[in-house]
Amino acid sequence: MRKSIYTCQQCGYRTPKWLGRCPNCGAWNSFVEEIVEKKKKRVVKEKSKPLILTDIGSAERQRIRTRISELDRVLGGGVVKGSLILLGGDPGIGKSTLALQIASQICNAEKVLYVSGEESLEQIRMRAERIGATKDGIMVLSETCLEDIEEVLQDVLPSFLVMDSIQTLYTEKLDTAPGSVGQVREISARIQRISKEEGIATLLIGHVTKYGDIAGPKTLEHIVDTVLYFEGDKYQQYRILRCTKNRFGSTNEIGIFEMTEKGLVEIKNPSMFFVSDIMEEIPGSIATVVIEGTRPLVVEIQALTSLAFFSYPQRVTTGFSKLRLAMLLAVLDKRAGISTRDSDTYINVAGGISIEEPAADLAVSLAVASSVKNQPIKEKMVVLGEVGLGGEIRSVPLIEKRLKEAERIGFKKAMVPFKANVKKTEIEIVRVRRIEEAVSYV
């Protein structure tokens, strides 16, 4: 006996009847029909028994080195055998290119199978020739039926599997279209079972929605072991690979790549890339150092203020929190006398990186003040510090590591909170207690 279940594509909420609006996430027209067959009777098997945690033997995870250092950094040292990795990103961002480059790097030591449901074999060959990934060790299959793919997997038994993309695959057990909630859930579960049983490291490529989330049910991200997002503008050459889930490593690392005619190239010195034009004296431009995982990055903060044409001034940010900016503008107005009440304010973090930590508060504040006064900060320095509501400058963690990176780039001076614990550094230190003191200095 079969029945219909309706599932929300945004949050995975399930209901026996169709609803116009999801009661869980509030999305409109997000429910799709899923045909569910009556479950078979459970097979009686031996009962599982709990074990004492200390009696369980620890197995060291074997990793496959991709020889792409930026990717290995994000994954925590390489691809774990038997793991399931989900790679998402906007169309044209470089997901298939990265997958083909990974296959090319490890095919000499491992058996690799590249399954494409979107491109023909000739198209894959053309991309491989363009990026220099034409090697004999890569097996390529153009197929969308999961049952046929499973037969090939049983015959080949690769060590590394790429499936591009999961939304194009379908199983004959379900009557729904490829990419539907039921299809994606069933296919991902079966691929996970095969990967775990056979020890196959699998890379799944997933499409994203207009909101930037991976398309399909949210359970897809719960099934996989690692979730990677490719960030950046497809019309720009730089890409940031970010990890949001990793069962075998940290989720704080990022990898930085440059898209070229020959494929993705690693950025070995990302700080130089983010501050390439900082040495020019431009009003509203200042440098700071942020921590991404264990890596310090020198980034450029750009601010622009202009007379507002409407009664309500705009607050536009790229790579920085809009709510955080509103707080900093209020502190500048109240404590330092820098008013932006009649001005549109724009904040941009150059290079496309997003800043979440408060260590960039002082840099953003000084960049806004520089733009309001239309005066460049003549002394090229890095600025570090969190700004409190009272205008006080608070210390930030790992300050010596940040200063060491700034010194390596070529900066000679740094503005830090007055109580910052700086023991040994060659860079000149300027200590400030309050926001008005910092504004007066620069």
Q: 0.85 exceeded by the pTM?
A: no
From CA 31, how far away is CA 24, in angstroms rounded?
12
Q: Are 404 and 422 in contact (CB under 8 A)?
A: no
pLDDT number for residue 356: 87
Q: What is the 3-state secondary structure (H, E, C) of 359-418?
A: HHHHHHHHHHHHHHHCCCCCCCEEECCEECCCCEEECCCCHHHHHHHHHHHCCCEEEEEC
Helix (H, G, I), strand (E, B) or coil at 327: helix
Please choose, from the candidates 219, 214, 179, 11, the residue with its C-alpha nearest in 3D space to the C-alpha of residue 19.
Answer: 11
Exposed, middle or buried, 19 (CB in 10 Å: 0-12/13-18/19+)?
A: middle
pLDDT number for residue 162: 95
**Torsion angles phi and psi, residue 75, rounded to 5:** -80, -10
Q: Is 63-268's fold the same as 272-441's?
A: no
pLDDT number for residue 327: 96
From CA 117, how far away is CA 105, in angstroms rounded?
22
pLDDT number for residue 174: 83
From CA 271, how far away is CA 351, in angstroms rounded?
10
For the chain, the structural domain boundaries read 2-37, 63-268, 272-441
pLDDT number for residue 34: 73
How far, in Å, are 55, 346, 414, 440 from residue 435 at the CA level? Answer: 57, 20, 15, 9
Strands 84-89 and 226-231: parallel
pLDDT number for residue 359: 94
Q: Are 89 and 259 in contact (CB under 8 A)?
A: no
Query: Both tokens of residue 75?
Result: 């994954």
CA dihedral 330, 332, 338, 339 (to 10 degrees): -10
Residue 36 bridge partners (DSSP): 3
Q: Are 182 and 128 in contact (CB under 8 A)?
A: no
For every one of its 442 residues, what pLDDT tens digit does the chain have, with 9 covering 90 and above? 556 788 887 777 888 888 889 888 888 888 887 766 555 555 555 677 888 877 776 656 688 999 999 999 899 889 999 999 999 888 888 899 999 999 999 998 899 999 999 899 999 999 999 998 888 889 999 999 999 999 999 999 999 999 998 889 999 888 888 888 888 888 999 999 999 999 999 999 988 766 656 656 566 888 899 999 888 766 677 888 989 899 988 887 888 898 888 889 998 788 777 776 565 678 999 999 999 877 899 999 999 999 998 889 999 999 899 999 999 999 999 999 999 999 999 999 987 788 989 999 999 999 999 999 999 887 788 999 999 999 999 999 999 999 999 998 889 899 999 988 888 778 999 999 999 999 998 8
User: What is the fold, at CATH topology level, of the domain defined by 272-441?
Assistant: Ribosomal Protein S5; domain 2 (3.30.230)
Question: Quick count: other Cβ atoms within 10 Å of Cβ 433?
Answer: 13
pLDDT number for residue 46: 65
Q: Which CATH class is domain 63-268?
A: alpha beta
Q: Are 204 and 163 in contact (CB under 8 A)?
A: yes
**Helical residues (DSSP H) of 66-180, grouped into ranges:** 69-75, 95-106, 121-131, 146-156
From CA 196, how far away is CA 81, in angstroms rounded?
9
Task: State the amino acid at position 2 in one-letter form.
Answer: R
From CA 236, how far away is CA 239, in angstroms rounded?
8
